[in-house]
């Protein structure tokens, strides 16, 4: 009897824990991953823009 109650209690505690892991993975895929991609895309764009500006300034210096 005690073993059955113990197994039932463990099973009832495991279900929300497992759903929590599933929800965390789902949120990571649907929220955090797109945010990280957008951040990295913005960083790359700023880096390319600064490199283009530096190259343009260097060309202007060479012209004068």
Could you report the per-residue pLDDT of 20-35, keeping only the tens digit for each?
999 999 999 999 999 9
Which residues, given as ranges, of the chain have pLDDT below 50? none
Q: How far apart are CA 25 and CA 23, in angstroms?
A: 5
* Confidence at residue 32, expressed as pLDDT on a 0 to 100 scale: 93
Sketch the domain layout of the chain as residue ranges: 1-64
Q: How far apart are CA 22 and CA 16, in angstroms?
A: 10
**Whether this model's pTM surpasses 0.75:** no
């Amino acid at each position: 009897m005690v073993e059955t109650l113990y197994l039932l209690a463990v099973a009832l505690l495991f279900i929300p824990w497992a759903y929590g892991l599933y929800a965390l993975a789902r949120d990571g895929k649907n929220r955090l991953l797109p945010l990280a991609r957008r951040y990295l895309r913005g960083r790359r764009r700023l880096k390319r823009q600064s490199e283009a500006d530096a190259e343009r300034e260097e060309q202007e210096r060479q012209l004068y």
